[in-house]
Amino acid sequence: MKNNTIAIAFITYSDQVGKGKTRPVLIYKQDDAHYQLFKITTKYETKSEHIRKFYYKVQEWQEAGLNRPSWIDTSTLVDFHKEWQIIKVGKLQLDDIIGLDQFLESHRTEYL
């Protein structure tokens, strides 16, 4: 799959071995063996202000293949082996690709 693909994958919780949930993700980067994913969420209002500052709102969520208004959680890149199951559902649209890149650049110091 290509970068900027929206997919569904089982993502394990970082604090619970073997537990996790199936969720939408964005393939952000990749190498020969791994995808680097951002998780996608519909939960925004219930999150703290600190957490929300890492959420990029997907403007063209329907065109991207998402079912509801969604945010890309840019706080952590998830390492995902390419041999694990992942199902493509859509693609981030050009305006959102540009918007996400600008969002990441403007928040770069917060990730350090």
Per-residue confidence (pLDDT) for residue 13, from 0 to 100: 83
Q: Find all residues with CB under 8 Å of 28, minimum gap 6, and list them.
A: 3, 4, 36, 37, 38, 77
Task: Check residue 28 and give left, alpha or beta (phi > 0: left; psi -120 to 50: alpha).
Answer: alpha
Mean pLDDT of 66-81: 96
pLDDT category of residue 19 using cuts at 50, 70 and 90: confident
CA distance 66 to 91: 9
Q: For the chain, how many residues are written?
A: 112
pLDDT at 110 over 90: no
Mean pLDDT of 43-69: 96
The pLDDT tens digits of the residues spanning 28-46 come to: 999 999 999 999 999 999 9
H or E stretch covering 23: strand 20-30
pLDDT at 112 over 80: no
Per-residue confidence (pLDDT) for residue 38, from 0 to 100: 97
Per-residue confidence (pLDDT) for residue 64, from 0 to 100: 98
Task: Output the CA–CA distances (angstroms, integers) from residue 71 to 17, 19, 33, 62, in the order listed.
Answer: 26, 23, 26, 12
Per-residue confidence (pLDDT) for residue 111, from 0 to 100: 63
Contact between 38 and 92 (Cβ < 8 Å) = no
Domains defined for the chain, CATH in brackets: 2-108 (2.30.30.110)
Apex CA 47: angle with CA 43 and CA 51, to 5°? 110
